Chain A
Amino acid sequence: MSDLRNPLQRARGLGSAKSGANHWWMQRMTAVALVVLGIWFVITLLSLMHADFATAHATLAKPWNAVLMIAFTTSMFWHAQLGLQVVIEDYVHTRWLEVSLMVLVKLLAVLFALACALAVLRVALGA
């Protein structure tokens, strides 16, 4: 602590904070959503214990179930991406590998979230 400049003086000229607290905030937003949606997901799965294909299909095809399922899978992949990003930042110390992994995880999360949404829509719209 030999630097006597105050934190503001040190930060000036280093550029903006870019996304700032966005990562932290979105992690909490998706967490709150997943508390509700996760409980709904588990209860829905348990209610389908003895369901055959037609019953499971018809259950997911109900509008509210379809909407909640897309909300669940989207926030799930979003939250997973945010969490895995922190894990990669903490443990991967080779810069190119760290960045590559983070890009890969982010792209896969978007791809899988879209695939889940399409699957639910195919069921819900009877395609």
Chain B
Amino acid sequence: MAQSGRPLSPHLGIYRWQVQMVTSILHRATGIALAAGTLMVLWGLTALASGPDAWSCFTGFAGSIFGLILLLGWTWALMFHLCNGIRHLLQDTGMGYEIPQFVRSSWLAVIVSLLLTVAIWAYLMAGGVL
């Protein structure tokens, strides 16, 4: 990397923070978090196939404080990755590359993902899960 001694292009520290940087970084971060979350899906399905004892072990973990915090985090990570992923798919078609549109769609992905997360957990709380 840096062994060549050639000048480097400016890195993160030199830029003023903008929402497009935040969504770009969060897309990768939530992707990594969700990759870890796949193990929870694997555990759940395997437990369901194994029988009631394994299943109650799984639901016991999922319903614990630690499990609920993880699930809340994964809910937002999934909603953000979904919203921003749709944004990227639309951009792949050439849409939305004007700077104002780019900024607006970034904010939209952040806000809609938060609203969806709140809606899902409000539904769960109304159902008496918490």
Contacts and interface: CB of A to CB of B under 8 A. Distances in A.
A46 B125 CA distance: 11
A67 interface: no
Given A112-B38, A112-B42, A120-B49, A56 B55 contact: yes
B49 A87 contact: no
A28 B85 CA distance: 9
B118 interface: no
Interface string A67-107: 00100010011001001100100000100000000000000
B92 interface: yes
B38 A80 contact: yes
A83 B35 contact: yes
Contact of B85 (A35, A50, A119): A35
Interface range for A:
20 to 34
Contacts of B5: none
Nearest to A124: B49
The dominant DSSP class at the A interface is: helix
A98 B25 CA distance: 21
A21 to B, nearest CB: 12
B120 interface: yes
Contacts of B35: 80, 83-84
Given A49-B124, A80-B34, A119 B45 contact: yes
B129 A28 contact: no
B1 A28 contact: no
A42 B38 contact: no
Interface in A43-58: 46, 49-50, 53, 56-57
B77 to A, nearest CB: 12
A42 B83 CA distance: 14
B82 interface: yes
A111 to B, nearest CB: 10
A59 to B, nearest CB: 10
Given A31-B85, A80-B38, A53 B56 contact: yes
12 contacts: A35-B85, A50-B128, A60-B48, A76-B38, A83-B28, A83-B31, A83-B32, A83-B35, A84-B32, A87-B32, A116-B46, A123-B45
